[in-house]
Amino acid sequence: MRPSLLLLAVLLALPLPALAGKKRKKSVTIPIDIGVGPAAHMLTGPVQDDQTLHWGLVLSVQAILDKKTLKKLKKKIPKQYRKQILSMDELRMSPSIFIPDTLFLSPKTTNTGMFGVSWTPVNLGMPIVKDPFRWTLGASLRVSGAFIHSDGIAGAQGGQAWQMLFLRPGIDLGSELEIPFSDSFLISGGWRSQLHIPQAIGGSVDELGTLDSAVWHIGQPFLMFHVRVPYEYKY
């Protein structure tokens, strides 16, 4: 499970100013998982008909809190959430409101190029299998922004050259398989369906489009390489 940044702040916030002068003697080591890897993007409709794949990168930064760590931080957890959180085997938290999880980096190879970013400010993940590998189903809120330009493709803008700023909120549904090779190195891969409010191809941000002539669904197969680095948190 990956709660919001707000919960991360509640759990791992610095002491209140009134307590800042007190010496903190306890510490706990929290693994920070840093992931990066290649991704392909398929924009359903005329853009995909012109160029099947648009390339990019996926990114991930997560604090991994196991049951033992959660128990040590018990007093940092608000009472109303304590029972629920302490019952978890693992809690993953990401400052994803600040760090994009997707970079679109795709110069045109046929007629269309795409450059931009996409965030998932709120993530929910449900592990279906936990051992010996981790298989997770997830859903997220998503915000995407990208500059898309084309020399002209059939079925869009009369085949003439066009460009657009694609800026849309949406939701994300996906699945990820994570395989550990050691405590500090893992590989994961999966699929995400990024579903956005349709924006007409070549149109302005306020211009809606029909599904057969808009950018609305981005399919994303990805592969990510993870390293985990220890972080000593004092409390």
What is the per-residue pLDDT across 112-168, written as a single tens digit (0 to 9) for each?
Answer: 999 999 999 988 888 999 999 999 999 999 999 999 999 988 777 778 899 999 999
Residue 43 within any structural domain of the chain: yes
Residue 14 within any structural domain of the chain: no
What residues does 196 pair with on adjacent strands?
A: 170
Residue 78 within any structural domain of the chain: yes
Residue 17 within any structural domain of the chain: no
- Exposed (0-12), middle (13-18) or buried (19+): which is 23, by Cβ within 10 Å? exposed
Q: How far apart are CA 3 and CA 16, in angstroms?
A: 22
On whether the pTM is more than 0.75, the answer is yes
Q: Note down the domain range covering 64.
A: 5-9+31-234
Residue 99 within any structural domain of the chain: yes
> Can you tell me which residue has the tokens 């972080």?
231
Residue 24 within any structural domain of the chain: no
Q: How far apart are CA 20 and CA 93, in angstroms?
A: 25
Nearest to 225 by CA among 171, 180, 165, 158: 180
Residue 16 within any structural domain of the chain: no
Which CATH number fits the domain that encloses residue 90?
A: 2.40.160.20
Number of domains present in the structure of the chain? 1
> Can you tell me which residue has the tokens 């970079």?
103
Q: How far apart are CA 135 and CA 200, in angstroms?
A: 36
Instruction: Report pLDDT digits (tens) over 15-55.
Output: 433 334 555 568 889 999 999 999 999 999 999 988 999 99
| pLDDT score of 82 | 85
